[in-house]
Structure 1
Amino acid sequence: MTSALRVVVLAGGVGGSKFTLGVRAALLRRAAPPATVVINTGDDLWLSGVRLQPDVDSVVYALAGVNDTQRGWGRTGDTERVNHELQAWGSGWPWFTLGDLDLGTHLARTGWLREGLTPTQVLARMSQRWPLGANLLPMTDSEVDTWVVLEDGSRLHFQEWWTRHRATLVPLSFENPGISSAVPAPGVTDAIARADIVLIAPSNPVVSIGPILAVPGVREALRATAARIVGVSPIIGGRVVRGMADVCLTAIGVETSAVGVASHYAARSAGGVLDAWLLAEEDAASAPIVAGLGIHPVVAPLWMTDADTTADIVDAALSAAADLRA
């Protein structure tokens, strides 16, 4: 590995934001340039007149060191006076909390969007406030919110299904209206084409990574790049690390296991997007099965307990890519 190492990360959700911290730390160890992080925007929404981008904000706040690590979302030390006032007016969702500092972000974003800036330009402007140590891009500038189709045929916005109902309503499928006509945000496919390594974060494969891969042109760019593509399993010992990814996987017919997710992404040699796959030590026995899928298996500790341990995970992924190149 050289200092010219070019890394692209596909990420979303809290798992993705934690992983980006590890990527930044690992690249600093190697004196490598900052990674380009392509962030899921499939769970964005309009609420109380402002545009929310939960995954974008999670990554920005984490890299800035201002995220609330206890709740797992929003700003640390935030208050909720405006949120209470909105609820008193019957505005918004009473079960969806908007912190005051968080609302400042949403208001700034919405104002810039109303002025004509694209989401890519808005994110570039947001990135100027703090030294983030990464180049951030939305997956697309199009609005492609995620909707959940339930057993009775009704549809809910993903945030209502996830936050209000805690994924207890059985989903039949997930939809991103308009995604078939979306295009990758400026810089996304170029970054993938120029990359040495593409990392798929241990984010929810269905609603965090899935929308990124569904943007027309992204899968094609991944299949065409000379970079090695290494994914990190979000499943450890047959269990999800965080959230309700198992419900999402079941809905699309994928087993909740490291092998199941690896098979879902599939090997590039078989038309998928993976060259290598990091499995947890708890899943070491599955390595031969992953190899049988045409994907190089790497067993490593995968618990992201802090930035240093997460950097070790990233180091394992970077080493796997180097081994494949050699």
Structure 2
Amino acid sequence: MTGSPRIVVLAGGVGGSRFVLGVREALRARGVAETTDSITVVVNTGDDLWLSGVRLQPDVDSITYALAGVNDTGRGWGRAGDSERVNHELQQWGAGWPWFTLGDLDLGTHLARTGWLRDGLTPTQVLERMAGRWPLGARLLPMTDAEADTVVDVRDDAGGGIRSMHFQEWWTRHRATLEPVRFDNPGIEDALPAPGVIEAIASADVVLLAPSNPVVSIGPILAVPGVRDAVRTTPAPVVGVSPIIGGRVVRGMADVCLAAIGVETSALAVARHYGARSGDGVLDAWLLAEEDAQVADEVAELGIRSPVAPLWMTDAARSAALAEAALAAAGV
């Protein structure tokens, strides 16, 4: 393909932010003129929550900060060089969650966002305003303007039943140690895709599923009514990148999430979970790690092409090489 391909990435989490950075760097290496028309990122907003009166969007902020070059690469979230004076003061008042750290610079983002929301802007409009601060080289869209925060039902051993909590409490406070039995996004069945999401997918030259958590990052995006159908019917090839390398998750607790929906932690099982577009799934190709090359034929038997490439995103060059491999798998 000549010229600038129109790339849509479905993404969330640290893996998503690193992969989106890689896509941008891969286009730069090709000498493609950097415009927001080249890359559209549809970001998971299932992680969002209200805390201490402000609206937090962890995945939105992680990807924004990464593209802006102001993210804390050591922690994988938040702003580089941040302080926590306000967070400490909130804890002295007994406000917020003592186990959920809010950096001072990060709080500035949350306060600005909340003010704009209360002024009547939609999350899409807020994100557009946020993106204007830095030259991101991509257009970021929330998956929906509706609030559809992820709730986890966990097994309550003490009470002998099931109790529910926000995903962030399960993930951050309990480190996914409480056995999940169900993930839900209340209200998502009535949500609409954010303006521009369906149009971007329909007009894309390639759609990429980032190596993000299939259950709580990519899952909520595809659960927004109309998004899965748009991915299934786009004329563009759809390429997913495995978040599993050698039978293990790269980061986080995706293995616990997968087990809760009956999917084993393997590249083959996740490919089967997404399914082939030739059937009722969403994939044309599934990029496998070199460590999982032995299952390439089994993935192909699902009706999904199974190229193999190095998937570790340990630095910017490797992230760009991975993105280039994903684009090559799509023929763009």
TM band (smaller chain)? over 0.9
Q: 2:257 aligns with which of 248, 260, 267?
A: 248
TM-score, normalised relative to structure 2 = 0.96
Measured against aligned partners, the alpha-carbon deviations of 1:49-103 in whole angstroms (never above 9, x if no partner) come to 0000000000000001111111111001100000011001110000000000000
Note the 1:177-196 alignment, pairs <5 A: 177-196=186-205
Structure 1 CA distance, aligned partners of 2:30 and 2:124? 28
In the alignment, does 2:14 pair up with 1:11? no
- Report how many aligned residue pairs link the two structures: 323
- The answer as to whether partners of 1:8 and 1:191 remain within 8 angstroms in 2 is yes
Deviation at 1:31, TM superposition (A): 3.3
**Separation in structure 2 between the aligned mates of residue 4 and residue 73 of structure 1, nearest angstrom:** 30
The SS at the match of 1:144 is coil
Deviation at 1:172, TM superposition (A): 0.1
CA shift at 1:306, angstroms?
A: 1.2
Matched, 1:138 2:147: no
Q: What secondary structure is seen at the aligned counterpart in 1 of 2:307? A: strand
Measured in 2, the distance between the counterparts of 1:171 and 1:238 equals 21
What is the one-letter code of the residue matched to 1:297? S
**Which residue is 2:304 aligned to?**
295
Q: Which residue of 2 aligns with 1:82?
A: 86
Q: Deviations over 1:267-316 (max 9, x none)?
A: 00111000000000000000000000000001000000112111111111
SS in 2 for 1:8: strand
The match for 2:130 among 126, 130, 146 is 126
| Contact preservation (8 Å) 1:44, 1:145 | yes
Q: CA separation in 2, counterparts of 1:319 and 1:224?
A: 21
Q: Which residue of 1 aligns with 2:176?
A: 167
DSSP-derived class of the 2:47 partner:
coil
The question of 1:57 aligning with 2:66 is answered no
Paired residue secondary structure (2:176): coil
Residue 27 (structure 1) shift? 1.3
Aligned to 2:224, which of 199, 215, 238? 215
CA–CA distance in structure 2, aligned partners of residues 19 and 70 of structure 1? 16
Q: Which amino acid aligns with 2:216?
A: V
Identity %: 75
4+ aligned runs moved over 4 Å, structure 1: none
1:305 is matched with which residue: 314, 318, 328? 314
Letter in 2 for 1:282: E
Counterpart CA distance in 2 for 1:125 and 1:277 is 34
Q: Which runs of 5 or more structure 1 residues have no equivalent in the other structure?
A: none
Amino acid at match of 1:291: A
CA deviations over 1:124-167 (Å, ceiling 9, x no partner): 00000011111100000000000000123100100000000000
Aligned-pair RMSD on alpha carbons?
A: 0.8
Candidates 214, 227, 230, aligned match of 2:239: 230
Structure 1 residue 4: Cα displacement: 2.9
Distance 2:2 2:236 in 1: 14
Once the two structures are superposed, residues 236-269 of structure 1 have per-residue CA deviations (whole angstroms, 9 ceiling, x without a partner) of 0000000000000000000100001100000001
Alignment gaps of 5+ in structure 2: 156-160
Contact 1:3–1:31, Cα closer than 8 Å, also in 2: no
Distance in 1 separating the partners of 2:303 and 2:30? 29
